Amino acid sequence: MSAKIPLSLESILAARNRVEGFVHRTPVLTCSYLDQLSGFKLFFKCENLQKTGSFKIRGALNAVTLLGNTHDTVVTHSSGNHAQALALAAKIKGLKAHIVMPNITTRIKKEAVHGYGADITECEPADKSRQEAAARVVQRLNGVFVSPANDFDIMAGQGTLALEMLEQVKDLDCIIAAVGGGGMISGVCVAAKSSRPGIKVIAAEPELADDCARSLAAGKLTPNKSTPDKLTIADGVRVSLGDKCWTVLQHYLDHVITVSEEQIVSAMRMVWERMKLIIEPSAAVPVAALLYKGDEVKRKYPQVNNIGVVLCGGNVDLEKLPWNKK
């Protein structure tokens, strides 16, 4: 059944060739303190140190490169990280970029998007609002929509980070990453499992945006129904799984762990304090999963010890840190 999915190790290797030289080979770091707390040996893939501050440039650049000369304007909707990535990818390729962003997006992410030369249209922070606003912009500008996650070229680009991690750490038993739209975890699943049979891939997500867990439990795609008063602090993973990502994850993903808002903030602060790394809340989600729900992994996969943890981004509004309540 997986052979029907147009995402493969070959497509991820091809994506790697396209983005090489334009993206960083980010480091993998360790922290004995977090090893001790979690009971695992953890290897942190620092995509927070990637260009534009997140892994998203990998997929955006792969997708934009594959467009060739067919369009001169690319459009997307994004809470910030894909927005910055697409803006930079368009700049590299000499294209215009127009981004639809939720009106609650942090100031620093909006400023970064403008800094890469893209235009912004704001919308309400709901999946439907984002999609409808982007569709209007595409029609008005005769542009092409580049999905934040629900695109196999995007997934292939994101999967390149897993190829790097497996080269950097030879004996990983498992990789864990946050899941929102599903582009990164889909690429990681295919890259990891095609390269190293037997490796486990686990997704982590907030309890307030747990559509991946509910979808796997139900055996069908089950989108989020978030309301403005119940939005996770992890803004990068508020969006629901895309249907194309779901076709990958239902075959490849091993498990999903959900965490509370308090656990996300605690894990984020711990990484700042102990590893001296600036990560955003979305990057803290898999860390929280291992620190507070690690027993769940141990019960389900007792053979797992060496775990790769994707720190997916580091774009934070320093004036609104979650532990500084004013």
Task: Indicate which residues carry an active-site annotation.
Answer: 56, 79
Q: What would you report as the CA-atom Rg of the chain, rounded to the nearest whole angstrom?
A: 18
DSSP assignments along 207-255, one per residue:
GGG-HHHHHHHHTS-------TTS--S-GGG-SPPPHHHHHHHHHH--E
Cα–Cα distance measured from residue 150 to residue 138, given in angstroms and rounded to the nearest whole number = 17
Question: Can you tell me the distance from the alpha carbon of 175 to that of 43, in angstroms, rounded to the nearest whole number?
Answer: 9
Rounded to an integer, what distance in angstroms lies between the CA atom of residue 272 and that of residue 269? 5
What is d(CA 285, CA 199) in angstroms, rounded to the nearest whole number? 20
The closest alpha carbon to 213, from 247, 249, 183, belongs to: 249
CA distance 287 to 272: 12
Angstrom distance (rounded) from CA 82 to CA 296:
31
d(CA 78, CA 84): 9
Closest among 243, 253, 273 to 201, alpha carbons compared: 253
Q: Give SS3 for 127.
A: helix
- Can you tell me whether residue 165 is helix, strand or coil? helix
